Amino acid sequence: MKHIYENHLLWVYRAMKTSRYFEEKMEKVYLEGKQPVFNIGAGPVPGEMHLSNGQEPAAASMIVHLTKNDTVTATHRPHHQAIAKGVDLKKMTAEIYGKKTGLGKGKGGHMHLFDPKVKFSCGGIVGGGIPHAVGAALANKKRGTDWVAVSFIGEGAANTGAFHESMNLAALWNLPFILVVENNSWGISVSMKNSTSVSSNDIRAKAYGINGYLVKDNDPLEMYRISKEAVERAREGKGPSIIEIETYRYLGHFQGDPELYRPKEEVPILREKDPIERLKNHLLRENIITDDKIKNLEDKIFNEVDNAYDFAIHSEYPEPEEALEDVFC
């Protein structure tokens, strides 16, 4: 058992580190063509860009308990969940570059990544993906499998009608469904305190007669433990759960966000408690991995991500007329 646990923690580290390196690279690439004057439509990666740096534990410490048969729906800030779920990194990067080789042949972009091979999807409408995961959970139950469906949302989505309708349905039908609320404190510029009537959304589980869990301080180990319990319960037919994790958003809502709404000192304080560094220190302290091996692992990660970017950069753009394809099958 200890062996499994240790391997899981290494897996979580790898997933978080991959996402972090992928996004740090994206942060730079995104600014290409957007300096000195920021123009959202310019450069190799145009459009909105929502990065998840800091929020990695929410995704990795949950998805480590899932297989490719389990469904994940994610948000407009989807890279950390996509990477943890095993979405094809080359095709995902190419999609963000708007290339023909992308997951959606360049029709989706960074907010609309679909990889049915690993049952991953995301979308740009806040709360919109929750009922999709409920439907996947319904299909799992109808077919008598032990597969589960997990929907990741931000704390802002917990105030949508879709949240309430979906939670009621999932509880009513006792579905293998888990809602993970990544509470990064900010719905664009409005704080949780100014948007939400309760101090945390796990409390709302009571309203549906289901289990609610709160993971404090962006802790990957606690998120791992709680997620394991919720996934096991769902697989055993014990119904849905809500997990809220207090997580951190290092960057703006989107790149180019002037962030006038939050105090300047907030992010440096959060970065000091970086969850990836905390997990790395834990792995070293507990002799789960050595310094040399972690260096090797990181080299592998950097190499994989760099290759994905190379693939995207060197891929062809779609022909303009391809815009007319894929409306129907």
CB-wise, 256 or 318, nearer to other proteins?
318
Region 77-106 residues binding other proteins, contact defined as CB under 8 A = 102-106
CB-wise, 160 or 185, nearer to other proteins?
160
Tokens encoding 181: 């609320």
Among 12, 15, 118, 133, binds other proteins (CB under 8 A): 133
Least distance (Å) from other proteins to the CB of residue 90? 14
Q: Is 325 in the site for other proteins (CB under 8 A)?
A: yes
Q: Is 121 in the site for other proteins (CB under 8 A)?
A: yes
> Using an 8 Å Cβ cutoff, are 74 and 122 in contact?
yes
Region 135-154 residues binding other proteins, contact defined as CB under 8 A = 135-140, 142, 149
Q: CB-based contacts of 91: which residues, under 8 Å, 6+ apart?
A: 101, 102, 103, 115
The interface region with other proteins, picked from 26-34, 166-174, 279-287, 294-302 by CB under 8 A, is 166-174
Count residues contacting other proteins (CB under 8 A)? Answer: 43
- How far apart CA 76 and CA 46 sit, in angstroms, is 15
- Pairing of the two strands 241-246 and 177-183: parallel
Do you find a cis peptide bond into 268, omega within 30 degrees of 0? no
- Pairing of the two strands 114-115 and 71-74: unpaired
**Identity of residue 31:** L
CB-wise, 207 or 284, nearer to other proteins?
207
Least distance (Å) from other proteins to the CB of residue 200? 23
Among 19, 73, 81, 247, binds other proteins (CB under 8 A): 73
- How far apart CA 156 and CA 196 sit, in angstroms, is 8
- How far apart CA 252 and CA 161 sit, in angstroms, is 26
Among 8, 159, 168, 203, binds other proteins (CB under 8 A): 168
- How far apart CA 271 and CA 269 sit, in angstroms, is 5
Least distance (Å) from other proteins to the CB of residue 171? 11
Q: Is 123 in the site for other proteins (CB under 8 A)?
A: yes
Q: What is the CA radius of gyration of the chain?
A: 19
> Using an 8 Å Cβ cutoff, are 15 and 83 in contact?
yes
Least distance (Å) from other proteins to the CB of residue 311? 16
Region 25-64 residues binding other proteins, contact defined as CB under 8 A = none
> Using an 8 Å Cβ cutoff, are 113 and 78 in contact?
yes
Site residues for other proteins per CB under 8 A = 71, 73, 102-108, 112, 114-116, 119, 121, 123, 125, 128, 130-140, 142, 149, 161-162, 165-166, 168-169, 172, 325-329
